[in-house]
């Protein structure tokens, strides 16, 4: 976040909505909702990883349509989150200098 903030002076002023979404996603202390999101996001990531790992055992615990729906749901949520962060990022260029963002884009 600090690295991206350094590039923000090169970008025209963003809307108040974009700034609010950025703060929500990047600064858990900015609001109660942002704090709850940050608290829920870590276990969600863990659940996603565990589900993927468990699907690699034979026989997989989730089969057929259920497995596909779970995977599609997880992938869609992560894709929306990374796309939203990209769209409201203070600097599109700086977005790709963050290792976390690069991993998120590749994972989505």
Query: pLDDT tier at 80 (50, 70, 90 boundaries)?
Result: very high
Rounded to 10°, the helix 32-54/16-26 angle is 60
Residues 35-75 pLDDT 10s: 999 999 999 999 999 999 999 999 999 989 999 999 999 99
- At residue 96, the pLDDT reads 87
- At residue 4, the pLDDT reads 55
Mean of the per-residue pLDDT values of the chain = 87
- Residue pair 25/83 in contact (Cβ under 8 Å)? The answer is no
- At residue 30, the pLDDT reads 94
């Amino acid at each position: 976040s600090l690295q991206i903030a350094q590039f923000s002076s090169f970008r025209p002023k963003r809307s108040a909505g974009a700034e609010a979404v950025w703060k929500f996603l990047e600064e858990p202390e900015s609001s109660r909702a942002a704090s709850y999101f940050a608290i829920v996001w870590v276990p969600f990531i863990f659940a996603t990883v565990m589900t993927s790992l468990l699907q690699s055992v034979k026989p997989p615990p989730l089969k057929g349509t259920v497995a596909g729906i779970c995977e599609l749901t997880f992938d869609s949520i992560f894709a929306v989150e990374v796309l939203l962060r990209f769209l409201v990022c203070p600097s599109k260029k700086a977005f790709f200098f963050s290792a976390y963002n690069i991993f998120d884009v590749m994972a989505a």
